Amino acid sequence: MRRSGEPSSSSLLLRHLVSELELAKDKKQQGGSANAIFWILLLNFGLYVADHLLQIRQIKALYLYHAFPSWYQFVTSTFCHANWNHLSSNLFFVYIFGKLVEEEEGNFALWMSYILTGAGANLISWLVLPTSSVSLGASGAVFGLFTISVLMSWDWRKILEVLILGQFVVDKVMEAARATTITGAALQVNNIAHVSGALIGAALVFVINRIPLSSIDDNPKASKDNKDKRS
């Protein structure tokens, strides 16, 4: 039983995530400012305002319609949301995990991670769900970014963090991060997008880690010696 005055598991998790962001400040100063995460957030907010407040009908064309999808909808639907709760819950985790990825890997890597995991999750949802469905939401990208942030710098500390916080984090993300599928008049949580986003994020990290570095990059001195021997 937790004693009065002791911090809850939620507050401990939030402190841990904030400390991760603070530790990344040095990398941010060395590698330039972190801008991509804020552009992603702004794009999500902007489309929400255009869709729900200004009621611009053309925004609906960015949703993923399973019966007759356009190629761009697999990407654009990851920036669209059904209501305010859908938007705010997703973007909280996009910010937390996206900032960690950007601080570690850079702006371009964050954009690619968001787009590939989000679009990949939508593709799998389109293959599996009924043709009457309409998908929108960023939670495929949320789960992808979460997986990438855990796996991108894997060491014993990360293993310990996952053992301690992993299940709690997954439960909280599953609670709050929502991929919405509209089937008929009902809004349903798209758990296929959650799982797909995480698997695609893991696959991205695996593929990148398997790309061999050239021998010149690994050992420039040895390469120079070989050149001297040939001449």
pLDDT in tens, 128-172: 888 888 889 888 899 899 889 888 876 666 666 666 666 666 666
Q: How far apart, in Å, are the Cα atoms of 96 and each of 17, 41, 57, 99, 201?
A: 7, 11, 31, 6, 16
Fold of 36-211: Rhomboid-like fold (1.20.1540)
The answer to whether residue 139 is catalytic is yes
Residue extents of the structural domains in the chain: 36-211
Other CB atoms within 10 A of residue 107 CB: 16
Q: How far is CA 68 from the centre of its chain?
A: 26
CB 47 within 8 A of CB 59: yes
Q: Which of 42-56, 169-183, 199-213 has the lowest mean pLDDT?
A: 169-183
The answer to whether residue 194 is catalytic is yes
Which helix (H) or strand (E) covers residue 103, if one does? helix 84-105
Tokens linked to 171 = 């439960």
**Starting from the edge strand earliest in sequence, which strands make up the sheet with 64-65, in order?**
64-65, 133-136, 180-183, 186-189
* Catalytic member of 77, 149, 194, 196: 194
pLDDT digits (tens, 9 = 90+) for 87-140: 988 888 899 889 989 988 889 999 999 999 999 999 999 998 888 888 898 888
CB 205 within 8 A of CB 101: no
What is the distance between the alpha carbons of residues 117 and 142, in angstroms, rounded to a whole number? Answer: 8
* Catalytic member of 139, 149, 196, 215: 139
